[in-house]
Amino acid sequence: MAQQTTSFGYLLPTREIVMSQPVPDCSQVIELAERAEALGFDSVWVGDSILARPRLEPLTTLASVATRTRRVKLGTAVLLSALRHPVVLANELANLDLLSQGRLILGLGIAANNPLVQNEFRACGVDFSHRIGIFEEGVTIMRRLWTEPEVTFDGHYFKLDGVRAGLRPQQQKGIPIWLAGSVDNSFRRVLELGDGWFPLPFSPEVFARHWQQLAALGKEMGRDTDHLARAVYMTVNVNDDVSQAEKEVRAFMEGYYGVPYEKMAAIQPACAGPAAKCIEWVQGFIEQGAETICVRFGSPDQKGQLERFASSVLPKLV
């Protein structure tokens, strides 16, 4: 078996600067993307929320990053595609893929079920209770628009009659789609609609167990899982001062999600402490088969964490 190659991504702080600055300085995000590329990261990522957890708009932000970088992949972690009409979104994403010369990865999610997100969908004119069906039809339509000369589609939520895409991505097979989720229904969506799996597993052991469940379901459905990219999204704070690292991660999580830290720490992967601890933590996911590690830094000092991770953690990971 060929040795696994792991790639490393950095989640840009598009929410953090909106939370911390009266007038967000967008140039800071672009500069961090440039620095991540220079430090050897393989990808940079942005999150998505219009109202529930406001941040810089993901696609226009990545368009700016595309013009200032040359090598790193550009990804969404994750985009709530059901909030956008699939014909419009397919065109925008194709444009972004062309602008970046084929570097786009599309991480997608169906959105968490909580009052803030429900209100966000309502404000955007999308029925939250039907978001899964809207999501699935939308992904199907986008894939077909990117790869077929003409699309006719008769769905429950969308109907197309002989639609030809205005733009097609540079990636001839279409933009890779990585889907979030760690329950049976989300596994089915990964197998039916995805090119990759992009979960938030609490630990390496949970990641391994969920992958086994996904693979078993794939076998049951007659779906090949060998082609699926396997990624993990995690929060890290590298600091020899363990107390300070834990304090920063706690403040970050509570500010980001607006709920007690303990609630998020029980369901999301997070590591705070010296480089050796972070190396062991991340390596655990790699040993369980994670091919892409997307790191979000739980700290107000994004540049410092980026530099520290690149110098003291990345070189020790296999």
Q: Is residue 141 part of a domain?
A: yes
- Say what the pTM is: 0.97
Q: What is the CATH number of the domain that holds 11?
A: 3.20.20.30
pLDDT single digits (tens) 57-103: 999 999 999 999 999 999 999 999 999 999 999 999 999 999 999 99
CA dist 115 and 55 (Å) reads 18
Q: What's the pLDDT score for residue 217?
A: 96
pLDDT single digits (tens) 108-158: 999 999 999 999 999 999 999 999 999 999 999 999 999 999 999 999 999
Q: Is residue 216 part of a domain?
A: no
What is the tally of structural domains in the chain? 1
Q: Is residue 78 part of a domain?
A: yes
8 A C-beta contact, residue 201 and residue 186: no
Closest CA relative to residue 95, chosen from 69, 62, 120, 122 = 62
Q: Is residue 192 part of a domain?
A: no
Which string of DSSP letters, residue by residue, matches 256-280? HHSS-HHHHHTTS-EEEE-HHHHHH
Q: Is residue 28 part of a domain?
A: yes
The whole domain housing 109 covers 7-175
Which residues, in sequence order, are bridge partners of residue 12?
none
pLDDT single digits (tens) 233-270: 999 999 999 999 999 999 999 999 999 999 998 899 99
